[in-house]
Amino acid sequence: MELEAGLKKIKKPIMVLGTSSGAGKSLTVTAICRILKNCGEEPIPFKGQNMSNNAWVDWEGGEMAYSQALQAFACGIIPSAEMNPILLKPQGNSISEVIHLGKSIGITTARNYYKDWFIPGWEVIKKSLSSIYKKNPNCRLIIEGAGSPVEMNLIHRDLTNLRVAKYLNANCILVTDIERGGVFAQIIGTLELMKPEEKRLIKGIIINRFRGDLSLFAEGKKWIESKTQIPVIGIIPWLNDTFPPEDSLDLLEKKSYFKNPEIKVGIIKLPSISNFSDFDPLENEKTIFIEWVRESQNLNKYDFIILPGSKQTIKDQIFLEECGLSQDIKEYSNNNGNIIGICGGLQMLGKTLEDPYFKEGSKNTSEQRIQGIGLLPLKTTFYKKKLTRQIISESLWPCQSEISGFEIHNGQTELVNMQSSLKINPIFKDLNLGWYSENKGGGTIAGIYVHGIFENDHWRDQYINLIRKSKDLPIFNKKSISYKKKRESIIDNLANEFDKHLNIKSILN
C-alpha cells in the first residue's frame, strides 16, 4: 500500500511494534519522540487504534488516549485526537464505546467490531494520516503498534500494526520485554509469523527492561543478530521512573516508592476505573504514600481517600454497595475522614443516580435509578450526549487560584433539596464543576468534575496542607516544584537513558 499522491516525499516514519502487550512500546515511542525533538526534528506521535479508559480531551473537545497525549508532550506539541483516530473504551462484557477522531459514534461488541467497524476504521486512520502530513509536511511520525502484530486469528483485520506499517512503508522496531522471560522465543516467533514483505520492514530490535550488567547479554545479542539478520539497536536497562499505565490492570503493580511518607492516601480500585492518570501528581509527592483499595475494610488508616472516575458509574456503585465499600466510605466520613470524588466518583458520592438510556452500566430497569453513597446532596442523570471539553476556571476552595483540566462525562449533576443541616459549597466559580461540605468535627467531602485537578500545583499544595493541618504536621509554605516540570524531567530522564543505549540514527533513513 502507498500514501496518496503528494504525500510520498515524507520523512521515513518510525514504527514501534512489540512482541506482546506491555513490552514497552508506549515508553519507547515517548523516549524516541523526545530524543528526536532534542535533535531538531519535528516528531509527531501516532497510534491508529488504542483501547483504553485512560483518556485525554484535546482543545477541540476530542477524546484520545492519554498515552498519545503524553507522547505529544514529549514532542513539545499540543495533543490532538488525530494522533489517536480510533479509541475504544471498554465497558465490560466484551462491549466498547467507539470513538473516531475524538467523537463517540457508537457501541460495539468484540464479536461484531471488525464486521461493522473495520472499513470505517481504516478510512478514519487514513484521513488522520493525510491531515497530519498536510498540516506538518516536515514532520516524522513516531507510530505505536498495539499488542502483538502477529495475532494470527486477528491479523487479517488488524487496523493498527502491520497494515499501518505497510501503508507508510515505515522503518519498524521490534521491542521485547526480557523481564517476562523467553525473549529469544518472543523475537523469533514474532518474526517467523510475519510475511517476507512484513519482516523486511523490521530494521531493528530493542531488548527492554534488562537488569544487571548489560555486557552479560553480548552473546545473546550476537545470537539474535545471526539468527534474524536484524541488528539489535538497543538494550534498555530497567528504569524506575513511573509512567501512567494504559491498562487499569497495571494499577495492581503500581506502588509508592518514597520512604517515610507523612500522608497515606487510599484510592478505590473500581472495576471500571477510568482516567487514573489523574493521580500521577500524587505519585510524585515524596510525602505521600498511595494504596489501592480493592475490598471492604476499615478506611481510617488513610488521611484521605479518593473515588476515581468510572466508565460504568452505575455498575461501579452497585459494586461498592455489594462489597461493603459504600458503607466503609460512609463510616469513614462519620469519623471525620477526608474524601474526594472525581467525575464518576463525584456522581457516586451523591444521593441518586439515574440512567434512563442505559449509558452507565445499568443492566435492567431496576438499576436505572439507584441510590448513591449519599454523602453529598446531588442527583445525577445520565443523558445520551457526552460532555467533553478543556477547562480553565478559578477555584474558591481550598484556595483561590486559576485551575485547568478537562471534563469527560455523560451525567449532569444538580443539587437537590436537603432536610438536614449539611452545608454544601461550590469549589469553583463555574458552579457546575464541583461541590464540597465540611463535617462538623473535621474532615471534608468534595466532588469534582475536573480531570487533572491535581496537576494544578497551588490547588494541590493547599489541599495537602489541609490534610497536614488536620494531622498537626507543619504547613508547606514554599512553592512546590511544578508537576508539569516534573513530568518534563521524567520524560527527559527517560529519553536520556534510551539515548545512551539506543542507536536510533541507524533507522532514521
Residue ranges per structural domain of the chain: 14-242, 255-483
Q: How many CB atoms lie within 10 A of CB 85?
A: 31
27, 191, 469, 470 from 16: Cα distances, Å: 10, 14, 48, 48
**334, 291 in Cβ contact below 8 A?**
no
399, 428 Cβ separation under 8 angstroms: no
For residue 248, the model assigns a pLDDT of 46
pLDDT at site 445: 97
For residue 378, the cross-strand partners are 415
pLDDT at 419: 56
Q: Quote the pLDDT of residue 246.
A: 56
**Contacts of 423 by beta carbon, 8 Å cutoff, 6+ apart:** 437, 438
For residue 3, what pLDDT is reported? 59
Neighbour order of strands in the sheet with 95-100: 49-51, 86-92, 95-100, 103-109
pLDDT at 284: 83
Contacts of 441 (CB under 8 A, 6+ apart): 336
Which CB contacts under 8 angstroms, 24+ apart, belong to 80-85?
82/128, 82/131, 82/132, 83/44, 83/45, 83/46, 83/47, 83/128, 83/132, 84/46, 84/47, 84/48, 84/50, 85/48, 85/49, 85/124, 85/125, 85/127, 85/128
Fold of 255-483: Rossmann fold (3.40.50)
What residue type is 229 in one-letter code? Q
Q: What are the backbone dihedrals phi and psi of residue 335, each rounded to the nearest 5 degrees, phi first?
A: -90, 20
What is the C-alpha separation between 20 and 171, in angstroms, rounded? Answer: 19
399 is catalytic: no
Which grid coordinates belong to 75? 514532542
Same fold for the domain at 14-242 and the one at 255-483? yes
Half-sphere exposure of 256 (CA within 13 A, CB side): 24
Catalytic residue among 75, 139, 172, 451: 451
CATH superfamily membership of 14-242: P-loop containing nucleotide triphosphate hydrolases (3.40.50.300)
Cis peptide before 398 (omega within 30 of 0): yes
Residue 426 sits at φ, ψ, to 5 deg, of: -75, 145
Instruction: Report the chain's C-alpha Rg in angstroms.
Output: 24
Any long-range contacts for 218-222 (C-beta under 8 Å, 24+ apart)? Answer: 220/183, 220/184
**Catalytic status, residue 451:** yes
Q: Residue 451 gets which letter from DSSP?
A: B
Nearest to 352 by CA among 303, 302, 317: 317
Nearest-5° Cα angle at 118, 114 to 119? 145
Which of the 8 DSSP states describes residue 272?
A: T
CA distance 353 to 492: 44
Q: Which helix (H) or strand (E) holds 123?
A: helix 110-135
Q: What are the phi and psi torsion angles at 301 (to 5°)?
A: -75, -10
Instruction: Choose the catalytic residue: 33, 139, 343, 409.
Output: 343
pLDDT tens digit at each of 509 positions of the chain: 445 555 567 899 999 999 999 899 999 999 999 999 999 999 999 999 999 999 999 999 999 999 999 999 999 999 999 999 999 999 988 899 999 999 999 999 998 998 999 999 999 999 999 999 999 999 999 999 999 999 998 888 899 999 999 999 999 999 999 998 899 999 999 999 999 999 999 999 999 999 989 888 999 999 999 999 999 999 999 886 556 555 544 544 555 566 788 999 999 999 999 999 999 999 888 899 999 999 999 999 999 999 999 999 999 999 999 999 999 999 999 999 999 999 999 999 999 999 999 999 888 999 999 999 999 999 999 999 999 999 999 999 999 999 999 999 999 999 997 655 578 999 999 999 999 999 888 899 999 999 999 999 999 999 999 999 999 999 987 777 899 999 999 999 999 999 999 999 999 87
CA distances from 379 to 273, 416, 446, 484 (A): 21, 6, 15, 34
Give exposure, 333-360, as e/b (b: 16+ Cβ within 10 Å): beeebbbbbbbbbbbbbbbebbbeeebb
* Other CB atoms within 10 A of residue 297 CB: 13
> What is the helix (H) or strand (E) element at residue 37, kind and residue range?
helix 25-38
**Cα–Cα distance measured from residue 224 to residue 220, given in angstroms and rounded to the nearest whole number:** 6
